[in-house]
Structure 1
Amino acid sequence: MTYKNGTNKFTLSQKIVLLITFVIVASLLPASLLIAHRVSGVVDERISVNAVSITTLLSHSPAVIRSLTYETDINNTNETLNNVVNMAAKSCKASIIILDRNKNIRVFHNPTSIDGFEDEARQIVAEQGLSTNLNWYDTSVFNEKAVGVIRDDRNTVVGYIVAGVSPKMIQDLTVESVLLIFLASLFGLFVGIGGAVFLARHVKATLFGLEPEDIATLLQERNALLNSVKEGVVAINKDAEITLINTESEFLFAQAGIPNPHTLLGKPLETVMNGLTLDTVLKEGRATLDMPVQVGSVLFIATLVPLFDNGHIGGAIITFRKKTELEELANQLTGVRNYADALRAQTHEFMNKMHVIMGLIDMKAYDELKQFTMEIANNRQAEAAYVVTRLKDITLAGFILGKISRARELDIEFSLTDESELTTEFIRPTVQELILIIGNLIENAFDVLRDHPSERIVNLSILTFDNEIMVMVEDSGPGIPENKLETIFEKGYSSKGPRRGIGLFLIKQTVTHLKGTIEVESTVGEGTTFTIRLPIVRTVKTS
């Protein structure tokens, strides 16, 4: 089954990808910008804290204090201080200057290449060196520099230390951090787009490649289709719970006495259609055809077909109709078949006679032609008059005349008995029901006699009494064994091969429906007689 895709500008997959991408960008972009803006301040704060830590550590170092206190020779103290300051500068990646109490530079390490660091350090010491506390100053003034005062055991100032980082290093760290943030955001964006594409494909696969507009159209078409059929349709899931009911199902359930059938969704199927064997469908995955099921006061014929989802049984569809409707339909079809057989026999007989007439004309045997046509007319008129005077219903009379022609075609002696009589002053049984019963009895007799070696005779009697109609069909066939008399009306039973055994079954159903009776008398080697009695429902005469 194929479906026409939607004609929108964007498909469902594209809409999903675009929407998720927009949400990710709308989430990541402001967050990334805020974080990037904050990173600059955080870097400045961390470098400032790092500079303060260096000055604090070195201002309290015993080696630094001892060198500045007892080694007054600048040239002799440089090596001692260099070892300490070099280690600190390497570990903290900072530029460091140590001055003695006279503001002479004792150690100068500038690995971060701060321009004018020496002069700036002297300026900071000159302005703030007399303070008794460790100081950290505003970056706009001291450019991320920290100053520490070095004191001896007597709390005497013996020197100063200044530590800092070059603005270029701060800028590089800030750019690196911001770049990492944007790379992480970009990676998150690509991951999100990849997830969106995967989700879109999964959704499309779940929807069988259909667009939402296609699904809406199919849903409307499905509802229209389900509500237009004249069969009840019920869908169940794998737990045998009702998931769908069409309008005809609600109507049939209401006829069967089920209250509020529109509220059955979600309920177990057995609460409505108890007696259905669901294991064959839901466990074995095999369809069940023409299963009788009693619902309330009505007998239905149901067909169960499994539903598969990716190879697994996901539920089932149950279609059903009232058994009486199916029987009436079968009766009508059988009646049509009998009409067709009668017309075919008459056509065949007519063509044979036409061939004789054409042959006589070709031979210019006009006297013989006249005699032949008169015999045909007289015989046909006599047959028609004989049947019509006994059977007042013209449809049934025409049907019997057709069977007479078919009997001649099969070389069977078929006759309507002289005592036969049928009036039309009743409404039940209908002529269609009578044709079904009589036609199947006659055809059954014809089939029995088709290959019968001895005489082949079928007699039909139709008698009307005060309260009933009696139909009797006698044949001179081989007869039916006594042990078979109970099974001849079963569906499918036939001695004539497969796909037979329907005629007598339909007769039995129709007679039972009309509250009539069937009697069968048979003697092996002599023949069989079927006698059917049907009660009459007469018309009401009006004066």
Structure 2
Amino acid sequence: MPKWALFPRMRFTRQVLLLQIGVVVLVVGLGVALVSSLLRSVLTEQYGERALAIARSVAADPVVVAGAAARRQGGPLEVRAQAVTASTNALFVVITDDKQIRLAHPTPSEVGKQVSTRADDALAGKEVVSAVQRGTLGVSVRSKVPIWQGKRVVGEVSVGFEVAALTGEVNQLIVLTSVFAAGALLLGAGASALLNRRLRRVTHGLEPHELTELLYEREAVLHGIGEGVLAVDAQQRVTVRNDEAERLLGTPLAVGTPLAELDLSPRVRKAVAEGLPVDNLLAVAGDRVLVVNSRAVRREERPLGTVLTFRDRTDLDTLTRELDGIRSLSDGLRAQRHEFANRLHTLSGLLQLGHHAEAEEYLQTLTETTGARAEPPGEQVADPYLQALLVAKSEQAQEKGMELRLSDDTLVLAAVTDPVAAGTVIGNLVDNALHAARMGPRRPAAVELGLLADGTTLHVSVVDSGPGVPESLRDKLFDEGVSTKLAPGHGLGLALARHAARAHGGDVWLADPGGGATGALFVAKLPGLLSGPAS
């Protein structure tokens, strides 16, 4: 059972307050008790030392020494003892002989009797200091001193002070100490109350079990959703993140790390820096295309930070490209079916009309033009993935009335180790080149693709017949969102291609912006993308 369940009706902050006050009371009480004990001990020692000094002075008096040696009771000894008692406010001054018989006592009837408290140590030549004993006059703090005559002990002097006087002084000091203790208690209680108030304000009045439940719920939500979540504070330091965010961004997101030290997309940094709401922003992270949403968080007009969510659009883009390829293939097959049907109808009509020579000539013409369709690249490219990609792009170019051809020096006899990276780089470069060629003034529109293997490194070059890259875009061509296309959602292809190439230790760059006799020339270097010769 949790500790807070022991007090189900009492708030945790109140429990803390009562506990703190209880601790303060206990500490103050123990302090007062300790001080009282020390005060009593000190005062007892002081009274004992005072009694010892008086007893020494009396024991050194020649009259007392002579009277004790002669065992004379009363008389001068009684006078001396009463005078010292009156002058020192002592409870008693008692003089005895070496047989412990009283020679002087405040009560005359006690003279000549045996002392009530033994004085063996004093008669043995030792001084007794601060002894609390009960005698005929009550409990007192007393000291005893031997009376020497030469080298012989002839008696002893006992001086005592009433314990009530000691107790009175102790009580006065305890009262004074208690006043300070009460002040300390009030101060401690006040500090505890302020701390309790501060605790309520910091926790917004939530109980510990409620805070625990909130923590569990936060962890469940953060790590249970399929989106990446990243929260930064007002100083742009990471405060909250989940595993999905680290996976999508491809970088560790340690709590407390400044956003500037993370390898994030410029678009993401800009979204956080501006503090404006962002919806469905496309950004590149590694080889992924992410959809980013951003919201600034405020509380009572005070900025608390920014929360970003990430969704992976890479799979969706892959499916979209595959669907486009299938659609293009379907359209091509449909066009071929219609074309084939039209040719059959024409041939059937010629035969029905008896124009056999014309039908034979028509068949010969169809046989010669059938090879115009896109064919596999043959022995120049051996990898099946590259062959399929080139056939698909060639069909796509033909559909748009353009030509995609391989350069004369193209030669790749090795197998591709990462078809996805190869498709990302080559596919995006060819797509951009086809678009540029179609939008350019030169006809026929064409794109030339060069592929060359150098060990395990694949070199790619793509040149189009378009107008070239405008000078205003050359320095930022590979930035996210930069595109010559007017439709929204573009500007990610080149950025993705560069990220994929750099992930393999290579790069993609603009070798020639074009604009003269040819269009732009893009070059890519992909180390480690090839293995041994394809079988």
Interval containing the TM-score (normalised by the shorter chain): 0.3 to 0.5
Normalising by structure 1, what TM-score? 0.44
Normalising by structure 2, what TM-score? 0.45
